[in-house]
């Protein structure tokens, strides 16, 4: 965002450091869930910034930070081929199959 | 009837010494907390803006607990707000270090670093005090200040061992701040008197550990510790720089304009 602005508005380029994605764990055994992102120059600073921005009011007992550049994401254009096909084939879903009478504990 | 005892040199009553002792702890954190809060909305990046505000809130929280306890010890019906907002500069007992204007970010970080290292060591000792109220505050504050120290140390390393400009700025800050560090380790009759309340603080030991911790980080940050600097003093006795009065005017105006206001 800032980079594009810099070229169009003549503002100084972004000097906030690279982006890091932040994952917080709310309680023992729970999964680390994506909370947002922070700017930081390195891993230690990313961890500290994540702590200050996303965990200060007791939201987390553990934090992960990952360089945003390390994340491989599907492109919006992939949505069709990646995610569509499942839904028109009812037999892909367990509800398609009738449960025989008498089966318990399924 | 026995003759009244001839008044010898009066010893400071313990309650007052403890009051003074708590004011020194509380005022350091109140004043530094306010200085840090001046960065709110002005931090170099959003994340650091939030981090500095967090540190300010921690320090003001510590000050609040300490001044509340001081008010109870004094027994004159003054709560933490009365002590924070209705005392004049000469009644403040903070060290001069914390009242200096915030300067640039390098100055703020260097001051924070020098204070954090000191504060961690002080709380580490005071968490074992026989005074229950103070020991409780110390244990909680120690956790907060350990984080502050980690944060400020990282920045000192980064700025000191960063660009030519960042190095020059933090070195200049260190040179300006160094003469205000001696006062942190002063001890007087107040410290001697609170021993009877179960509070023992060996400032000689704190000082040498502080010097080790601080030198280690500064050295890794390629910064040079100033030598042979005459140390400033006065804050613990209420003799402050002109900066404190200006800061208090801003900090106290709302409480003084609307006494007893609730929000």
- Give the pLDDT confidence of A40-91 residue by residue, as tens digits: 999 999 999 999 999 888 889 999 999 999 999 999 888 887 877 666 777 7
Residue numbers in A near B158 (CB within 8 A): 41, 45
C-alpha to C-alpha distance for B177 and A56, rounded to whole angstroms: 30
Q: What is the DSSP string of B76-133?
A: SS--HHHHHHS--GGG----HHHHS---SHHHHHHHHHHHHHHHHHHHHHHTT-S-HH
User: What is the structure's pLDDT at B263?
Assistant: 72
User: What is the structure's pLDDT at B4?
Assistant: 53
User: What is the structure's pLDDT at A9?
Assistant: 42
Are residues A52 and B51, on separate chains, in Cβ contact within 8 Å?
Answer: yes
User: What is the structure's pLDDT at B22?
Assistant: 97
User: What is the structure's pLDDT at A4?
Assistant: 41
pLDDT at residue A15 above 80?
A: no
CA of B238, closest CA in chain A: separation in Å? 35
pLDDT at residue B164 above 80?
A: yes
ipTM of the complex: 0.73
Are residues A40 and B47, on separate chains, in Cβ contact within 8 Å?
Answer: yes
Residue numbers in B near A38 (CB within 8 A): 47
By CA distance, what is B47's nearest residue in A? Answer: A49
Residue numbers in A near B48 (CB within 8 A): 49
CA of A53, closest CA in chain B: separation in Å? 7
CA of A3, closest CA in chain B: separation in Å? 15
Residue numbers in B near A41 (CB within 8 A): 158
B44, B45, B150: best mutation site toward chain A, by most A Cβ within 10 Å?
A: B45
pLDDT at residue B18 above 90?
A: yes
Size of interface A-B (CB pairs under 8 A): 28
By a Cβ cutoff of 8 Å, what residues of chain A touch chain B?
Answer: 16-17, 38-41, 44-45, 48-49, 51-53, 56
User: What is the structure's pLDDT at B11?
Assistant: 52
Q: State the average pLDDT over residues B41-49.
A: 93
For chain B, list the strands marked E by DSSP: none
A12, A45, A58: best mutation site toward chain B, by most B Cβ within 10 Å?
A: A45
User: What is the structure's pLDDT at B92?
Assistant: 97
Taking only the tens place, the pLDDT of each residue in B215-233 is: 999 999 999 999 999 999 9
By a Cβ cutoff of 8 Å, what residues of chain B touch chain A?
Answer: 45-48, 50-51, 54, 147, 150-151, 154, 158
Residue numbers in A near B47 (CB within 8 A): 16, 38-40, 49, 52-53
Mean of all residue pLDDT scores within chain B: 94
Strand partners, A34: A23
Q: How many CB atoms lie within 10 A of CB B75?
A: 9
Q: State the average pLDDT over residues A13-24.
A: 87
Residue numbers in A near B50 (CB within 8 A): 52-53
- Let me know: does B44 contact B105? Beta carbons within 8 Å: yes
User: What is the structure's pLDDT at B202?
Assistant: 93
User: What is the structure's pLDDT at B176?
Assistant: 98
pLDDT at residue B80 above 70?
A: yes
C-alpha to C-alpha distance for B62 and B73, rounded to whole angstroms: 17
Residue numbers in B near A48 (CB within 8 A): 51, 150-151, 154
The residue among B4 and B200 whose pLDDT is bigger is: B200
DSSP at A62: E
pLDDT at residue B12 above 60?
A: no
C-alpha to C-alpha distance for B48 and B195, rounded to whole angstroms: 40
Are residues B154 and A45, on separate chains, in Cβ contact within 8 Å?
Answer: yes
C-alpha to C-alpha distance for B26 and B66, rounded to whole angstroms: 5
Specify the pairing of strand A33-39 against strand A62-67: unpaired
- Let me know: does B169 contact B231? Beta carbons within 8 Å: no
């Amino acid at each position: 965002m800032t980079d594009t602005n810099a070229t169009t508005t003549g503002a100084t380029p972004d000097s906030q450091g690279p982006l890091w994605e932040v994952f917080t764990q709310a309680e023992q055994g729970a999964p680390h869930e994506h909370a947002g992102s922070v700017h930081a120059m390195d891993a230690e600073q990313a961890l500290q910034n994540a702590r200050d921005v996303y965990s200060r009011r007791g939201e987390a007992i553990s934090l992960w930070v990952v360089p945003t550049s390390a994340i491989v994401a599907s492109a919006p254009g992939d949505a069709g081929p990646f995610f569509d096909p499942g839904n028109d084939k009812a037999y892909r879903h367990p509800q398609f199959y009738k449960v025989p009478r008498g089966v318990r504990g399924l | 009837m026995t003759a009244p005892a001839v008044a010898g040199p009066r010893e400071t009553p313990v309650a007052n010494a403890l009051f003074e002792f708590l004011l020194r702890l509380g005022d350091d954190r109140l004043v530094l907390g306010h200085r840090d809060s001046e960065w709110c909305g002005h931090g170099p990046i959003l994340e650091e803006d939030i981090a500095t505000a967090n540190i300010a809130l921690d320090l003001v929280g510590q000050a609040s607990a300490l001044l509340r306890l001081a008010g109870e010890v004094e027994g004159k019906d003054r709560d933490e707000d009365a002590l924070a907002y209705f005392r004049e500069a000469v009644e403040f007992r903070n060290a001069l270090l914390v009242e200096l204007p915030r300067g640039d970010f390098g100055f703020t970080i260097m001051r924070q670093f020098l204070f954090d290292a000191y504060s961690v060591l002080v709380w580490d000792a005071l968490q074992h005090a026989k005074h229950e109220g103070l020991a409780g505050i110390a244990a909680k504050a120690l956790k907060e200040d350990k984080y502050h120290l980690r944060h400020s140390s990282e920045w000192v390393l980064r700025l000191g061992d960063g660009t030519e400009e960042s190095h020059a700025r933090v070195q200049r800050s260190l040179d300006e701040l160094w003469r205000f560090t001696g006062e942190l380790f002063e001890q007087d009759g107040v410290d001697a008197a609170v021993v009877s309340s179960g509070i023992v603080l060996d400032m000689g030991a704190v000082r040498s550990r502080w010097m080790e911790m601080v030198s280690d980080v500064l050295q890794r940050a390629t910064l040079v510790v100033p030598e042979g600097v005459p140390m400033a003093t006065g804050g613990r006795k209420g003799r402050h720089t002109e900066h404190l009065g200006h800061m208090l005017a801003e900090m106290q105006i709302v409480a003084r304009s609307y006494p007893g206001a609730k929000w």
